Amino acid sequence: MAQYDFDLFTIGAGSGGVAASRRAASHGARVGIAENSRVGGTCVIRGCVPKKLLVYSAHYADDFADAEGYGWTVAPPVFSWPDLIAAKNRETDRLEAIYRKLLSDLGVKLHEGRATLVDAHTIEINGKRVTSANILLALGGHPVTPKISGIEHVISSNEALDLPQLPRNIVIVGGGYIAVEFAGIFAGFGSKVQIVIRGEELLKGFDDDVRVTLSREMQARGVVIHTRTEIVSIEKEREGFNLTTKAGAELSADQVLYATGRQPNTKGVGLEAVGVKLHERTGAIVADGWSRTSVPNIYAIGDATDMLNLTPTAIAEGRALAETLFNNNPMKIDHGHVPTAVFSNPTVACVGLTEKQAREKYGAIDVYRTNFRPLKNTLSGRDEKTLMKLVVDRVSDRVLGCHMVGPDGPEIMVGLAVALTCGATKKQFDKTIGIHPTAAEEFVTMREKAPEPAPAKAAE
């Protein structure tokens, strides 16, 4: 008779938790999974997928505008926000049903309700207890907001996906992924959009050329960016909201979206009681390269560890853990060359090191940069330009980073991630013959090195 009810019990049925559970079950493990919301998690239900659907819809504004330059006469288009949200909801419902079926088909037992740890092998869901030899924490994360007067009036990215009507005037506080993506969405639908950030540029942590380029292009599209600005209070008025800045200025809007960060869902799960170590500042679960926590049979993946909060990373970590535990195939995930994209308008995509990171780590580097008007924009008359950039180790000639702002960047970057994972050199990039005419070919035709920055700037 088995000592435990399950070989693996996963808390959290998001992309990572589902992937790990399915892979473990496919290797014959007895698997249970608990979810206190909808199966699919952040990515499928209230993140990547629904947001990308809204991004697609917003881009039609550009397509209608550009069509005339290509000989098309298009009647004035009419947009319906309620119709879009209804279509989006049908798709997320469809995907959730698929996720449920995938689990069921492999014999993974779904427990719907909030799960908490009783001890290192016991989980309680809705008053019922089950035991498992191994426990996987795939808890995900949630949006957080600062404690200021009136913060109860704002929405997060969760609510932004289900607004009953399109805001005419929206203020978005924050300058990261979520903020710039929703700025592009709402601006595409004709809303007046203002972004408020405390720093000088958007997308902290990205390459500086990328940050400057995106800011310029977004402003050219009518998005107003308030830099070095901090909101200290929000007041609800008869129609909309009034925001007061630290400097005493006032902004008005009929909707306020805060995209000021996310935190791991680690509270109220019983982690501390069973000895799972958490990061003191972030509350994230401390896990090693094998997804092991401080408790030998408890593992953690995805946003709950706050290592690299990307859906494909969580899926890869989950599958690797299942291979390690149940298929005698020990696997670790290399987080070094994971590509990422921001579905802003225009899009941002990158893989590898920024110029600043490369200078700090390698010292002598070469930078190749091109800024051009895409062929599509020649007949449409659109002024928007594309930025591409390569960062190269001068000693080994190895390409350390690839960066892009412009259409199709996310599609292009996956292939470049393969090249960087294989250790490709700039010479090999140069030997590669591209497809003409495409934007992607620019990554293999850059020959002119960018001038060396002034010593003070390079040291920054």
Catalytic residue annotation: 436
Beta strands per DSSP E along 86-151 = 109-112, 115-119, 122-125, 128-137, 141-143
The helix or strand, by DSSP H or E, that contains position 314, with its residue range, turns out to be: helix 311-326
**Rounded CA gap, 21 and 403, in Å?**
34
Angle at 245 between CA 170 and CA 152, to 5 degrees: 60
Torsion of CA 419, 422, 428, 429, to 10 degrees: 20
Question: If we measure between CA atoms, which residue out of 452, 326, 310, 427 comes closest to residue 15?
Answer: 310
Retrieve residue 213's tokens: 């380029």
Residue closest to 91 by CA, chosen among 40, 135, 129: 40
Q: How far apart are CA 452 and CA 235, in angstroms?
A: 49
C-alpha distances in angstroms, 188 versus 177, 192, 216? 17, 10, 16
Q: Which residues lie across from 252 on neighbouring strands? A: 242
CA distances from 279 to 47, 272, 297, 337 (A): 25, 11, 19, 24
Phi/psi at 66 (5° precision): -80, -20
Q: Label residue 248 left, alpha or beta by phi (over 0 means left) and psi (-120 to 50 means alpha).
A: left
Q: Which of 438, 425, 409 is nearest to 351 (CA)?
A: 409
Whole-angstrom Cα distance, residue 119 to residue 111?
18
8 A C-beta contact, residue 350 and residue 402: yes
